[in-house]
Amino acid sequence: MGMKAWHVVKGTKGPRDLKLAERPDPQPGAKDILVRMRAASLNYRDQVIVQNKYMNLTMERDTVPLSDGAGEVIAVGEEVTRFKVGDRVIGTFNRGWYGGSYEDDRYEQLGQPGVEGVLAEKVVLNQDDAVSVPAFLSYEEAACLPCAALTAWSALVVAGKMKAGQSVLTLGTGGVSIFALQFAKAAGCCVIATSSSYEKLQRARTLGADHTINYLTHPEWDRNVRDMTNGRGVDHIIEVGGAGTLERSYRSLATGGMIELIGFLAAAEKQPPVGLPRWGMLAKINVGSREGFEAMNRAMAANDIHPVIDRVFPFEEAIEAYEYEGAGKHFGKVVITI
């Protein structure tokens, strides 16, 4: 038996270097599950990985990409107790982080250089590095959860301790920002959404955004945020822009509010501004633990929250999916069926 898998190749420069290859079926160990993948989704980090610019890591060997995917268990090791054949599962982004606080450099992430990801017909996962697919979600929807959804959940609920009646500012309309909008509205918060596209802002309003700002026509958008909050500022900011937006985020923050820095997206290329106009907090979000993933899934089920999928590509068109997502025209998530 064999299977097909996409590879990010050693020395990759971009999506056009992705290669579709035949590989032997992976074999599960005693505590592993073999998963027939059904869908995967793209995140911004995947674009950086395929450009060979991810963190301080380089692609030294051909590696299956993508961290986010869902599928069906087709075989289990003799010591597996968490799942059985036929179960629908999702792999976790951080391998080995089951709960508690994050420990830097301890965890590997699926799809990073040298760590096999999920853009393959079959994948082996340790039973502890997977969660069940919520019954109300399709494989395509479930594939959107491990990175983008859990990052938004960890930012607002775990780190931010979001409460009803608070205000949330989301920057852009990518996966993390749209999940943040959905979670914030489910929690009874006021949401201000930004984008450079009026069409995307209108779509954000259909998801419940209370206010919208086109940052292309309103480059000093922090002033709009303060006007919309009667001068107070917002309690939470989903900061995905990094150094380019951080200073305006500070000026948009309410006293005691929190700027949730989204992973390496917001790794500052320069030092944060000094002399902040409001006392507030910064929190760097490293996606989340399995415990947080399962809590998020329960909350999504209780509130019937479905991921927003912009477009679905077939497995054979993975390169086109990368290029579409990389162009930044999507609203929500880009999915690849397998």
- Residue 92 φ/ψ, nearest 5 degrees: -85, 150
The residues facing 218 across adjacent strands are: none
Mean pLDDT score, 221-234: 97
Task: With a cut of 90, say whether residue 145 has pLDDT above it.
Answer: yes
State the pairing for strand pair 234-239/167-170.
parallel
pLDDT for 246 = 87
Task: With a cut of 50, say whether residue 185 has pLDDT above it.
Answer: yes
- Please compute, for residue 296, the number of CA atoms within 13 A of its CA located in the half-sphere on the CB side: 33
| Residue 5 binned pLDDT confidence (cut-offs 50, 70, 90) | very high
Task: With a cut of 90, say whether residue 234 has pLDDT above it.
Answer: yes
CB 62 within 8 A of CB 19: yes
Sort 21 into a burial class: Cβ within 10 Å, 0-12 / 13-18 / 19+.
middle
User: pTM to 2 decimals?
Assistant: 0.94
Each residue's pLDDT tens digit, 278-312: 567 888 898 999 999 999 999 999 999 999 999 99
pLDDT for 105 = 65
Domains and CATH numbers, the chain: 2-144+307-337 (3.90.180.10), 149-285 (3.40.50.720)
Mean pLDDT score, 191-207: 97
Tokens for 254?
Answer: 């309410």
- Residue 290 φ/ψ, nearest 5 degrees: -65, -40
Of residues 336, 338, 330, 291, the one with CA closest to residue 144: 336
230 sits in the region (left: phi over 0; alpha: psi -120 to 50; else beta) called: left
pLDDT for 271 = 53
Distance CA 302, CA 305 (A): 8
Task: With a cut of 90, say whether residue 276 has pLDDT above it.
Answer: no
Distance CA 53, CA 117 (A): 17
pLDDT for 329 = 87
**Count of CB atoms within 10 A of residue 2's CB?**
11
Task: With a cut of 50, say whether residue 321 has pLDDT above it.
Answer: yes
pLDDT for 272 = 54
Distance CA 88, CA 74 (A): 10
Each residue's pLDDT tens digit, 82-132: 999 999 999 999 999 999 988 766 788 999 988 999 999 999 999 999 999
Each residue's pLDDT tens digit, 53-80: 887 778 888 999 999 999 999 999 999 9
What is the pLDDT of the chain when averaged over all its residues? 93
pLDDT for 22 = 95
3-state helix, strand, coil in the chain (%, to 5): 30, 30, 40
Each residue's pLDDT tens digit, 36-58: 999 999 999 999 999 988 877 78
Q: In Å, how far are 30, 80, 254 from 42, measured between CA atoms?
A: 30, 29, 33
Alpha helices in 82-211 (DSSP H): 139-142, 150-153, 175-186, 198-206
pLDDT for 267 = 47
Mean pLDDT score, 193-202: 96
pLDDT for 295 = 98
